[in-house]
C-alpha cells in the first residue's frame, strides 16, 4: 500500500493545526466501472476512503471542497463545542494513516456533521451523503444505502432550487432522477429525467448513464 498512498498536508479549518493525511496517488487509481449515479468501482485502493480529512488534534473533518470558516474565535469555539458533543463522544480519532471501510465511514460521517454545522453548500452535503450511500452499496447494506440516498436527494433538491447555475443544473437533475429511481419513486424520477433529456442538456457528460438507468427501469 505504501507506494499507492502518499501524504498530503492540510491546515485544519477549525484549529489551524497542520497535519498530514493519506491520499491515493492519481496514477495508481484503477476504475473498473461506474454505476448510473457515478459511483465508481475501483480495483485496489478506493480513493473515496481518503476524501474526508480529519484533524488529528481536534477531530474536525472537512473535504477539499469545504469553504473556510469565516467567523470570529468565539463563534468558532461555540461551533466546535457543539461538533465535539455530537460527533466526538469517544474522543478524537486518528484517521491520518491507511484507512479501512470503518475508518472511511467515520471520516465521512464527521465531515457530514461538520458540514451541517457550518451550513456548507447543499451540493457538498449531497456529495457526502452519496459517498456514504456508495460505501454501504459496496458492502451490500441496502437499508443504510437507501437512507443516505434519501438524505442526498433532499440536499440535491435544495441545491437545485437555491443555487442554480446552468453548469450544475444537468448534474442535479441527473442525481435527483437517479436517487428517486433507486428509492422507488418512479413517477418523480420520470419528471426529473424528462427535464434532463431536453435538448438544453444534450452536452451533459453523463447523459448516457442517466438514459440507461431510466431505460432499464422502464423495461422492468
Binding status of residue 159 toward Zn ion by CB under 5 A:
no
Q: How far apart are CA 40 and CA 57, in angstroms?
A: 31
Binding status of residue 12 toward Zn ion by CB under 5 A:
yes
Binding status of residue 170 toward Zn ion by CB under 5 A:
no
- Shortest spacing between CB 153 and Zn ion, in angstroms: 31
Q: Per CB under 5 A, which region of 13-21, 24-32, 41-49, 185-193 contacts Zn ion? A: 13-21
Location of C-alpha cell 495508481: 28
Nearer to Zn ion, 12 or 173 (CB): 12
Nearer to Zn ion, 60 or 83 (CB): 60
Binding track over 35-74 against Zn ion, x by CB under 5 A: --------------------x-xx-x--------------
Q: How far apart are CA 180 and CA 10, in angstroms?
A: 36
Nearer to Zn ion, 12 or 125 (CB): 12
Does residue 191 contact residue 50 with C-beta atoms inside 8 Å?
A: no
Q: Which of 11, 17, 30, 75 binds Zn ion (CB under 5 A)?
A: 17
Binding status of residue 207 toward Zn ion by CB under 5 A:
no
Q: How far apart are CA 177 and CA 210, in angstroms?
A: 8
Nearer to Zn ion, 57 or 146 (CB): 57
Q: Per CB under 5 A, which region of 5-13, 42-50, 129-137, 153-161 contacts Zn ion? A: 5-13
Nearer to Zn ion, 14 or 125 (CB): 14
In sequence order, what are the residues at sequence separation of 6 or more whose Cβ sits closer than 8 angstroms to the Cβ of residue 190? 177, 214
Does residue 22 contact residue 5 with C-beta atoms inside 8 Å?
A: yes
Q: How far apart are CA 141 and CA 89, in angstroms?
A: 25
DSSP 93-151: ---SS---HHHHHHHHHHHHHHHHHTT--HHHHHHHHHHHHHHHHHTT-HHHHHHHHHH
Q: Which of 8, 10, 15, 190 binds Zn ion (CB under 5 A)?
A: 15
- Shortest spacing between CB 210 and Zn ion, in angstroms: 39
Binding status of residue 25 toward Zn ion by CB under 5 A:
no
Report which of 78, 77, 84 is spatially closest to residue 60, judged by C-alpha positions. 84
Nearer to Zn ion, 57 or 207 (CB): 57
Residues that bind Zn ion (CB under 5 A): 12, 14-15, 17, 55, 57-58, 60
Amino acid at each position: 500500500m505504501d507506494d499507492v498512498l502518499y501524504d498530503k498536508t492540510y491546515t485544519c479549518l477549525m484549529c489551524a493545526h497542520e497535519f498530514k493525511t493519506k491520499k491515493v496517488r492519481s496514477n495508481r487509481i484503477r476504475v473498473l466501472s461506474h454505476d448510473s449515479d457515478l459511483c465508481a468501482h475501483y480495483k485496489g485502493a478506493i480513493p473515496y476512503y481518503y476524501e474526508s480529512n480529519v484533524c488529528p488534534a481536534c477531530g474536525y473533518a472537512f473535504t477539499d471542497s469545504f469553504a473556510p470558516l469565516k467567523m470570529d474565535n468565539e463563534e468558532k469555539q461555540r461551533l466546535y463545542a457543539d461538533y465535539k458533543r455530537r460527533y466526538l463522544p469517544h474522543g478524537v480519532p486518528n484517521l491520518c494513516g491507511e484507512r479501512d471501510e470503518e475508518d472511511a465511514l467515520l471520516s465521512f460521517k464527521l465531515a457530514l456533521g461538520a458540514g451541517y454545522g457550518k451550513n456548507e453548500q447543499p451540493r457538498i452535503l449531497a456529495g457526502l451523503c452519496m459517498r456514504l450511500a456508495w460505501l454501504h452499496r459496496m458492502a451490500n447494506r441496502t437499508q443504510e444505502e437507501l437512507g443516505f440516498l434519501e438524505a442526498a436527494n433532499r440536499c440535491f433538491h435544495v441545491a437545485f432550487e437555491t443555487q442554480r447555475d446552468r453548469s450544475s443544473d444537468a448534474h442535479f437533475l441527473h442525481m435527483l432522477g437517479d436517487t428517486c429511481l433507486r428509492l422507488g419513486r418512479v413517477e418523480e424520477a420520470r419528471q426529473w429525467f424528462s427535464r434532463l433529456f431536453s435538448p438544453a442538456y444534450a452536452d451533459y457528460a453523463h447523459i448516457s448513464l442517466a438514459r440507461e438507468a431510466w431505460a432499464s427501469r422502464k423495461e422492468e
